[in-house]
Each structure stands twice: as structure tokens, then as C-alpha cells.
Amino acid sequence: MINKHYLYILSSAVILLSGCEAQGDYPGLEYAPQMYHSVPYEPLTQITDREDGEWLSSLDDNVGEFYNSNPNNAYAMNVRIPAANTIRRNTDRYSAGGHFETNPELVLPYNIPADSLDYASRVLKNPLAATEDVVGQGQVLYATFCYPCHGGNGLGDGPVGKVYKGVPAFNAGRYKEMTEGHIFHVITYGQGRMNPYASQVSIEDRWKIVEYVQTLQNQ
């Protein structure tokens, strides 16, 4: 009895699904094709909808339902190649400051290895000046990345820190004496139970956070 029921459900499903077919030039079984095919230009699709593979030069051509190539760009591409001699504004990910980066210390990769915390503590100097602007941006970044554990005043009492436990206070013991290089290195590689932030926070933004953490050490 049970087996017969399954057979019935299965055959109805097959009949139902075989009714779904894309109407473009590339037919196949597709359920709700409008959910897969974008109406706005998709950066990475180049559906020409033509069997001869020729690029279309204008939208007046007979294009299929899911045509998604850009007739205004070369090779019908949706994304454009940057103009010659274009320079990325920050080679080390996006910067909260949003300004064009000219200081090589903020752009070159950080190459002090993870196991050299003492060395980093001694030699690294913050290339940014502690202006009100920089400290303010550091505070915003701190609120995003560090506050959950370290808390608003850097006492280790953030909402996550209370549960995570063992988050130090920046204004006590050896933490009060941490150099700027030490803090930068810890943000970059993590330390003990703290995870690294290098993949999420650019070098420039890490230095801004350092400026703000220093104000918390001295409160």
C-alpha cells in the first residue's frame, strides 16, 4: 500500500516539473526561471542568445527572453576593464578614511612574521599622526571590530567578552605598557584566544585602531 502511494506522488511530481521549461534559446528544465535570470545587467554574464555566437550590436536585434549582455560595451561585456594606468586607491583593501593612499607604509604588505611580536613591539612605529580625525575613525573601527569583546572602555567587558571570558583590560598591568607596534601586531595576527583581523581590517585602519586603543590604555 505504502509503496503505491510513493509511486503516485513521484509520478505527479515528474508530470508537474516537466511542465517547466525556459523559453530562451537555451531550453532546458528550469523551475521558476525568472528567479535565476537577472533583469538588470549581471557583471559576469555574457548571454548573447544567438546560435551563431556573434555579439549583438544593438538591442533591436532579436534577443531571447534572458538576454543579459550589454550592447553598449565592447564584446557585449557588462563589466568594463579599468582605464589604462588606473591605480587602485588602496591596495590593502578598503579604507574607512576613503582617501587616496600615498604613504607606502600603509600600502605595502606587512611582512614581520607572526612569531616576532617582541621585534614588532620594539621597531614598529605608527605612520599616522594622532589627529582628532584619525583617533575618531579609530574609535568607529574599534566599535565595529573590538568592542564586542573588549568593551567601550577597553576593560574586557563587552557583551561577547563577558561570555568569552579572559579578555584583558587595556589600562591595567602589562597591557597598559603595550607599545603601538605590539597592538598592531596583535590585531594583524591575533594572540592566544583572540583571532587575527588582517583579512578584515586594512593596514591603515589597523593603525587607526591602534591610536584609539592607546587612548584606552591611558584612561
Report the interface residues with ligand HEC, using CB under 6 A.
145-146, 148-150, 160, 164, 166-168, 175, 178, 183, 186-187, 191-194, 197, 209, 213
* Nearer Cβ to ligand HEC (56/194): 194
CA proximity to 172, closest of 159, 155, 158: 155
CA distances in angstroms from 173 to 16, 55, 142, 163, listed in the order given: 70, 68, 21, 22
As measured in angstroms, the least distance from the Cβ of 101 to ligand HEC is 20
CA distances in angstroms from 27 to 24, 49, 164, 169, listed in the order given: 6, 11, 54, 63
As measured in angstroms, the least distance from the Cβ of 137 to ligand HEC is 13
As measured in angstroms, the least distance from the Cβ of 183 to ligand HEC is 5
As measured in angstroms, the least distance from the Cβ of 214 to ligand HEC is 10
As measured in angstroms, the least distance from the Cβ of 91 to ligand HEC is 21
CA distances in angstroms from 176 to 86, 111, 201, 205, 208, listed in the order given: 44, 26, 23, 21, 18
* Nearer Cβ to ligand HEC (63/146): 146
**Which residue's entry shows cell 583593501?**
93
Q: Which residue is nearest to ligand HEC (CB)?
A: 192
Q: What does the angle CA 192 – CA 119 – CA 139 come to, to the nearest 5 degrees?
A: 60
* Nearer Cβ to ligand HEC (106/149): 149
Entry field: residues in the chain: 219
* Nearer Cβ to ligand HEC (90/151): 151
> Is the CB of residue 170 less than 8 Å from the CB of residue 213?
yes
